Amino acid sequence: MADTQKIVEEVKEEQHISPYEEDKIIEGYIKEGIYDINDNIGTEIDYEEDLKARSLLKNYVLYKRHARLAEFKQLYAGEYAELQAKYYKPTDL
């Protein structure tokens, strides 16, 4: 599981977010992003280990903050597909 506070700090630094913007709002965006990415990939991702997924998560937050999730989904569909392929686990069904 991701350390959301650590990601909050990274997001604030990388995206030059005002220190007055509340951490819990950004943390909420991170939790939504984790849910969305995990749900679309079909597994729980370790965002501490998988830096590509972590980068996707931080970009999710960027687009969410600016109410541009539809655009995010279009632009990052390839990254979702790469993660799906990486975490694909065939079954005997």
pLDDT at 1: 52
Domain boundaries of the chain, sorted by first residue: 4-87
Residue 93's pLDDT band (boundaries 50, 70, 90)?
low
Residue 16 has pLDDT above 60, yes or no: yes
From CA 41, how far away is CA 80, in angstroms rounded?
7
From CA 48, how far away is CA 17, in angstroms rounded?
22
From CA 57, how far away is CA 79, in angstroms rounded?
11
Phi/psi at 72 (5° precision): -55, -45
Q: What are the pLDDT digits (tens) for 19-41?
A: 877 899 999 999 999 999 999 99
From CA 57, how far away is CA 89, in angstroms rounded?
22
From CA 19, how far away is CA 74, in angstroms rounded?
30
Residue 67 has pLDDT above 80, yes or no: yes
pLDDT at 42: 92
From CA 23, how far away is CA 1, in angstroms rounded?
19
pTM as predicted: 0.89
